């Protein structure tokens, strides 16, 4: 395999893992559990959660297929069990005060942040699929760097989640002011154009061909851009 192929494979793995691990999606839960803790504790818990996820993902990348075969567990069963576990954790979070008291004695960086929120069934299945495609040292290195890079982004996102939340509030305020100074058609065109540029950029990074799509796939893509644009637009109305 040439270096270009290995780089493309690594970028595909990095983008896919980043989307499935969803660091911005984990930030609100991290803030709800760690928001009242000192800054040093928040930083330590952020990197502990990222390290926990990295350890679990690495174990399943190396021994995942052997573990699944030995325990005779199907991928569907693994996904179902992870979904039920996330449901139980969500119900626990609805307890409010009781949950807040319990976090003082529990290491939430391990459960639920490290797993199953970050290193959940989706991430485990994804890394197992990518591992099965590795057939050279270059691809092994590319996959390892992709996993490390994704967890570096997770650690930084959780560590700076408080500041990111403030930036999001500033973004919302600026967007509302901009929305008031231009017509609806102009603002909507800018939002859609931004979504198109972002979608094309992600596709290029992931190595997706930008031509030859069937009509149905083009319809799906256009619908996704329109829906995303509307959601962004509603945030500033």
**210 and 161 in one domain?**
no
Give the confidence band of 85 by pLDDT, cuts at 50, 70, 90. low
Convert the pLDDT of each residue in 118-168 to its tens digit: 888 778 888 988 998 898 899 999 999 999 999 999 999 898 887 766 666
In a domain, residue 171? The reply is no
> Is 176 within 8 Å of 187 (Cβ atoms)?
no
Number of domains making up the chain: 2
DSSP letter (8 states) at residue 108: T
Note whether residue 120 is domain-resident. Answer: yes
Check whether residue 135 and residue 186 sit in a common domain: no
Residues 148 and 216 in one domain: no
Among 165, 193, 209, residue at a domain's last position: 165
> Band of the pLDDT at 63, cuts 50, 70, 90?
very high
Predicted confidence at residue 217, as pLDDT, reads 61
Q: What is the residue range of 209's domain?
A: 182-234
Task: Tell me, yes or no, whether 138 and 187 share the same domain.
Answer: no
Q: Supply the DSSP string of 20-84, one letter for each residue.
A: HH-HHHHHHHHHHHHTTS-HHHHHHHHHHHHHHHHHHHHHHHHHHHHHHHHHT--HHHHHHHHHH
Q: Are residues 127 and 11 in the same domain?
A: yes
Q: Are residues 94 and 194 in the same domain?
A: no
* CB neighbour class for 20 (10 Å; exposed up to 12, middle 13-18, buried from 19): middle
In-domain check, residue 145: yes
Length of the chain: 237
The answer to whether residues 193 and 158 belong to one domain is: no
> Both 145 and 193 in a single domain?
no
195 vs 42, more confident: 42
pLDDT at residue 173 tops 70? no
Contact 145, 7 (CB under 8 A): no
């Amino acid at each position: 395999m040439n270096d270009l192929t290995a780089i493309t494979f690594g970028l595909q793995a990095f983008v896919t893992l980043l989307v499935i691990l969803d660091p911005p999606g984990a930030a609100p839960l991290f803030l709800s559990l760690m928001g009242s803790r000192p800054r040093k504790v928040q930083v330590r818990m952020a990197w502990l959660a990222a390290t926990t996820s990295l350890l679990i993902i690495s174990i399943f990348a190396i021994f995942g297929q052997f573990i699944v075969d030995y325990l005779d567990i199907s991928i569907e069963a693994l996904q179902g069990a992870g979904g039920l576990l996330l449901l139980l954790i969500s119900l626990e979070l609805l307890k409010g005060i009781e949950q807040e008291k319990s976090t003082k004695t529990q290491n939430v960086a391990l459960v639920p942040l490290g797993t199953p929120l970050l290193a959940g069934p989706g991430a485990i299945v994804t890394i197992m699929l990518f591992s099965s495609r590795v057939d050279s040292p270059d691809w092994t290195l590319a996959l390892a760097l992709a996993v490390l890079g994704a967890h570096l982004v997770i650690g930084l996102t959780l560590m700076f989640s408080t500041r990111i939340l403030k930036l999001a509030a500033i973004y919302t305020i600026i967007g509302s002011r901009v929305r008031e100074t231009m017509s609806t058609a102009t603002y909507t065109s800018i939002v859609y154009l931004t979504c198109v540029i972002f979608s094309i950029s992600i596709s290029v990074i992931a190595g997706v061909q930008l031509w030859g799509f069937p009509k149905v796939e083009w319809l799906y893509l256009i619908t996704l851009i329109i829906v995303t644009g509307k959601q962004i637009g509603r945030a500033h109305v």
